[in-house]
Amino acid sequence: MKLAFSTLGVPGLPIPDVLRLAAAHGYHGVELRAHPEEPVHPGIDLSRRADVAAEFKGAGVEILGLAGYARVAAPGDDEPVLQEIRGLLELARDLGAPFIRVFPGGGTDQSPGEADATAARRLGTAAEYAADLGVRILLETHDSHRTGADAIRVLGLVGHPRVGALWDVMHTWLGGEQPGSTYAALSPYLGYVQVKDIASADDTTPLPLGAGVLPLTECVELLSREGWDGWLCWEYEKRWYEQAAPLEGLLGAGREHLSRLLNESA
């Protein structure tokens, strides 16, 4: 498996500094948070996109994916959501990134069936555009569709190879789902896995990997046992928790922890 970290842990950090951290601590790739607060987002021009792609190539670091914020199950018109997804897909194409991340984002005034149908309709439409661009859309286990069982209801309706799943281990755990059940649901669709650690269900402040309660050992052992050979991406949510320790000082130990889990499960 390859290891990456998300720029959510180093909000606003210039790309050369992100690449320096990745190279210094042995990460193979980086997940870029695609938000206007960040150096890379759909609003940057073609020249800047080419520069970013060249910077990554020169550093020998891969762009794993773009973490976008489109909410595919949200109430309202389809077109604004589809336009947001198209912008992310075009940016990913220009940067050479294989994946974009979208959220479910279903509303409290929808039934689960309505949310599922809305998400599947939009993802099915966006999938054709994604296929033309050579990028894959990943629905993250998050918010209204927190577990693999939730996500599979949407992915099964879409049934397109350009639409898959992003397994966020915190959200499936918070949803009460065992790793084996999550993997069984998502394995035909799995793009990559976001790892993290927290103190408890009531305190989701990010912690160093291995210092909290999330079943990282079980997840890595499961993925290794099943022969899955994708990406593990450390999403350290520093952007939302100012009191959390800086990620820069934790990256080395985090990579060592993941490498140790991979070696132990080999």
Residues 145 and 130: beta-carbon distance below 8 Å:
no
Strand partners, 65: 31, 99
Q: What local confidence, expressed as pLDDT, does residue 195 receive?
A: 98
The Cα angle at residue 123 between residues 145 and 12, in degrees rounded to 5: 70
| Cβ atoms of 235 and 6 closer than 8 Å | yes
Do residues 147 and 175 lie in contact, with contact meaning Cβ atoms separated by under 8 Å? yes
The full length of the chain comes to: 266
Residue appearing with tokens 């190539």? 57
Contact between 126 and 89 under an 8 Å Cβ cutoff? The reply is yes
Q: Which residues pair with 3 in a beta bridge?
A: 232
Distance from chain centroid for Cα 78? 23
Q: What is the 3-state secondary structure (H, E, C) of 203-241?
A: EEEECCCCCCCCCHHHHHHHHHHCCCCCEEEECCCHHHC
Dihedral over alpha carbons 135, 107, 178, 30 (to 10 degrees)? 30
Could you tell me if 180 and 230 are in contact, meaning their C-beta atoms sit under 8 angstroms apart?
no
Contact at 8 Å (CB) between 6 and 40? no
Question: In the chain, which residues have pLDDT < 50?
Answer: none
The pLDDT tens digits for 177-225 are 999 999 999 999 999 999 999 999 999 999 999 999 999 999 999 999 9
Domains of the chain: 2-265 (3.20.20.150)
CA 219/CA 182 separation, integer angstroms: 10
Integer Cα distance of 216 and 151 in angstroms: 20
Pairing verdict, β 203-206 and 198-200 = antiparallel
- Tell me the chain's radius of gyration from C-alpha atoms: 17
Does this model's pTM top 0.85? My answer is yes
Quote the pLDDT of residue 234.
98
Indicate if the alpha-carbon torsion angle 176, 188, 261, 59 is positive or negative: negative
CA distance 253 to 93: 32
Interhelix angle for 148-158 vs 179-186, to 10°?
0
pLDDT at residue number 266: 66
Kind of pairing between the strands at 99-103 and 29-33 = unpaired
